């Protein structure tokens, strides 16, 4: 696994997590009646307001990172691992973790997308 792939995975999970923080957290807090808690969080971390105001670019970037990460994982799924057995096990373990991180990021992205764009239309 090369450095570019690792950086791509880190950016993917961070962008997906930011979509969750930007939109799902505030909506979930308001939904369960914790508006005062949300006000406290926004007071402590005013950057949440900026993230919420810029949710379209945030989701576009998160989606782009997910697509790039998915394409990278798909292209490298059958890449050869080193011949050394210890390095080969490490390579396969990193591949499994890479897939888990990708799916976890995708789930975070979908949850954030649901709260940001779909829930307000449903309710």
114 pLDDT above the threshold of 70: yes
Would you place residue 101 in the very low, low, confident or very high pLDDT band (cuts 50, 70, 90)?
confident
Q: How far is the C-alpha of 110 from the C-alpha of 32, rounded, in Å?
A: 20
> What pLDDT was estimated at residue 1?
59
Would you place residue 122 in the very low, low, confident or very high pLDDT band (cuts 50, 70, 90)?
confident
Q: Confirm if 42 and 49 have CB atoms less than 8 A apart.
A: yes
104 pLDDT above the threshold of 70: yes
The count of other CB atoms within 10 Å of the CB of residue 15 is 23
Q: What are the domain boundaries of the chain?
A: 3-122
pTM value? 0.76
For 22-70, the pLDDT digits (tens) are 877 787 788 788 888 888 888 898 888 888 888 899 889 888 988 988 8
- Rounded to 5 degrees, what are φ and ψ at 18? -65, -35
Q: Apex CA 70: angle with CA 56 and CA 64, to 5°?
A: 20
């Amino acid at each position: 696994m090369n450095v570019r792939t690792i950086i791509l995975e880190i950016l993917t999970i961070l962008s997906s997590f930011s979509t969750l923080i930007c939109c799902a957290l505030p909506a979930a807090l308001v939904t369960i009646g914790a508006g005062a808690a949300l006000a406290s969080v926004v007071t402590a971390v005013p950057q949440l307001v900026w993230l919420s105001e810029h949710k379209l670019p945030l989701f576009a970037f998160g989606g782009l990172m997910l697509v790039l990460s998915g394409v990278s994982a798909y292209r490298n799924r059958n890449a050869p691992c080193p011949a050394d057995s210890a390095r080969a096990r490490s390579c396969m373990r990193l591949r499994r973790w890479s897939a888990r991180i990708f799916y976890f990021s995708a789930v975070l992205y979908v949850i954030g997308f649901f709260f940001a764009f779909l829930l307000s239309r449903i309710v």
